[in-house]
Amino acid sequence: MKHAPTLDGPALDDTDRRIVNALQEGFPLSPRPYAEAAEPLGLTEAELIARLKRLLETRVLTRFGPFFDAAAMGGAFCLCAMAVPEERFETVMTQINARPEVAHNYERAHRLNMWFVLATETPEGIAKAAHEIEGETGLKVLRFPKEREFFIGFRVVA
Amino acid sequence: MMLDATDRRIIEATQAGLPLAPAPYAEIGAALGLGEREVVGRMAAMLERGVIRRIGTAPNHYAFGLTANGMTVWDVEDEMAAGLGQEIGALDFVSHCYLRPRALPDWPYNLFAMVHGGDRVEVERKRALIADLLGPCCHRSDILYSTRILKKTGLRLKQEKG
């Protein structure tokens, strides 16, 4: 797990945990949203901003802001998988990660060892990107578009 | 539901994250030559339309002790799959649950459920719970543990050309 973020950084205190839990959705769209979000947490605007900065710098949070739905924008998401020969793994990873359409990429312990998500602005963009990757790497890209998504009740409890 | 050029510019300006400053929407507006009220109004409209799913934090699972992350995959009878997917998705330890096409002969599985836990023992216990729930409707299954995050940036719009 060479590049996986770890928690060797500063330990999280209760305030950090309350911030992560409270701000998983519903951040205000208002002129002073940090001040507004800070109040119920018993924090000042400056304290909340400083803590969010630290949580992002230490990779406790991977991102803070709006999350977009490519499908609602007229585009598409597609989970893809490849069986990458071990000796080519780093090279292929670099090729895949360089593409802006690749939103996430995970190494998994399986014959199909590279799993990534393509996010494109048009449904046709998925096939195009997959074909380009196949051309570039000479490897087959299996595509697993979602047919249905089931209710997601899960939240990380910090 | 097409986005106009201004919506796209707002998405481009915020997709890596919101400015960590007291008035983030005014800052975005200043960078784009828009008023704060227009930025807020357009983002509220995108939230309403589902273009923005949510505004908030993306916690790193690893940072919260969820260091074992397994993609469980199941070959479930097609006619039962939607109902079973509903049940699996409602489990509190399943973060994502999807029906996807099989890719025969490489891949016989049609139901995907992400399971997280403190270690693999815990994930296997949860996987067994799913197996019990699926019962004889499931013909085979597998689990793919993530061993490395190679990239996690979320959606990125390409820069508008011309």
C-alpha to C-alpha distance for A76 and A123, rounded to whole angstroms:
5
Neighbouring CB atoms inside 10 A of A135's CB total: 8
Examine the predicted complex and report whether its ipTM is higher than 0.90: no
Domain membership flag for residue A80: yes
User: Does A14 reach chain B within 8 Å, measured CB to CB?
Assistant: no
SS (H, E, C) chain B: CCCCHHHHHHHHHHCCCCCCCCCHHHHHHHHHCCCHHHHHHHHHHHHHHCCEEEEEEEECHHHHCCCEEEEEEEEECHHHHHHHHHHHHCCCCEEEEEECCCECCCECCCEEEEEEECCHHHHHHHHHHHHHHHHHHEEEEEEEEEEEEEEECCCCCCCCCC
**Confidence (pLDDT) at A6:** 44
- Rounded-to-integer distance, Cα A47 and Cα B75, Å: 49
CA distance B61 to B64: 5
pLDDT of B51-98, one tens digit each? 998 999 988 877 777 788 899 999 999 999 999 999 999 888 898 899
Spans of chain A, pLDDT less than 50: 1-9
Separation between Cα atoms, residue B17 and residue B57, nearest integer Å: 10
Contacts of B70 (CB under 8 A, 6+ apart): B114, B115, B116, B117, B120, B123, B127, B143, B144, B145, B146
Say if residue B36's pLDDT is above 60: yes
**Domain-located, residue B33:** yes
Domain-embedded: residue A109 = yes
* Residue B160, pLDDT score: 41
| pLDDT confidence of residue B157 | 56
Window 122-141 of A, Cβ < 8 Å to B: none
- Average of per-residue pLDDT values in chain B: 90
Nearest-CA residue of chain A relative to B113?
A150
| pLDDT score for A123 | 87
* Inter-chain residue contact A4 with B25, CB threshold 8 Å: no
Give the pTM: 0.74
The pLDDT of residue B35 = 97
User: Which residues of chain A are within 8 Å of residue B63 when distances are taken between CB atoms?
Assistant: 5, 7, 12, 58-61
Q: Which residues of B touch A63 (CB under 8 A)?
A: 16-17, 57-58, 154
3-state DSSP call for residue A109? coil
Please state the domain count of chain B. 2
Give the helix/strand (H/E) hosting A127: helix A123-137
Predicted local confidence at residue A151, as pLDDT:
64
Q: Do A74 and B25 touch (CB under 8 A)?
A: no
Residue ending a domain, among A67, A101, A124, is A67
Is the pLDDT confidence value at B154 over 70?
no
Dig out the tokens for A141 from the structure: 């890209």
Q: Tell me the per-residue pLDDT of B99-147, one tens digit each, with 9 for 90 and over.
A: 999 999 989 999 999 998 889 999 999 999 999 999 999 999 999 998 8
Q: Which domain holds residue A53?
A: 1-67
Q: Considering the domain boundaries, does residue A99 fall inside one?
A: yes
Beta carbons of B126 and B96 less than 8 angstroms apart? no
Q: Tokens 């197996």 map to which residue?
A: B131
**Is residue B73 located within the same domain as residue B141?**
yes
Range of the domain at B35: 5-49
Q: How far apart are CA A97 and CA A95, in angstroms?
A: 6
How high is the pLDDT of residue A154? 56
Task: Quote the percentage of chain B above a pLDDT of 90.
Answer: 67
pLDDT at A76: 86
Please tell me whether residue A125 adopts helix, strand or coil conformation.
helix
We report the CATH number of the domain holding residue A130 as 3.30.70.3460
Q: What is the pLDDT of residue B123?
A: 95
Chain B residues touching residue A72 (CB < 8 angstroms): 1, 49-51, 53
CB A157 within 8 A of CB A21: yes
Which pLDDT does position A59 carry in this prediction?
Answer: 87
Residue A99, token pair as written in the block: 């593409």
Contact A68 B64 (CB under 8 A): no
Binding-face residues of A in 67-96 toward B, CB within 8 A: 67-70, 72-74, 79, 81, 93, 96
From residue A66, how far is each of A135, B55, B58, B125 by CA, in Å?
A: 33, 4, 10, 34
CB B50 within 8 A of CB A69: yes
pLDDT at A25: 86
Give the model's pLDDT for residue B95: 84
Residue B150 within any structural domain of the chain:
no
Residue B154 vs residue B74, higher pLDDT: B74
Single out the residue in A48, A67, A86 at which a domain terminates. Answer: A67
A106 - beta bridge partners? A115, B149
Q: Find the CATH number of the domain harbouring B115.
A: 3.30.70.920
Cβ count near A46 (within 10 Å):
12
Is B21 within a domain?
yes
Q: Strands B94-99, A148-149: parallel, antiparallel or unpaired by DSSP?
A: antiparallel
Cα–Cα distances (Å) from B117 to A25, A46, A64, in that order, read: 22, 34, 23
pLDDT value, residue A5: 42
Do B140 and B82 lie in a common domain?
yes
- Is the Cβ pair A65, B16 closer than 8 Å? yes
Q: Are the beta carbons of B141 and B71 closer than 8 angstroms?
A: no
Give yes or no for A150 touching B (CB within 8 A): yes
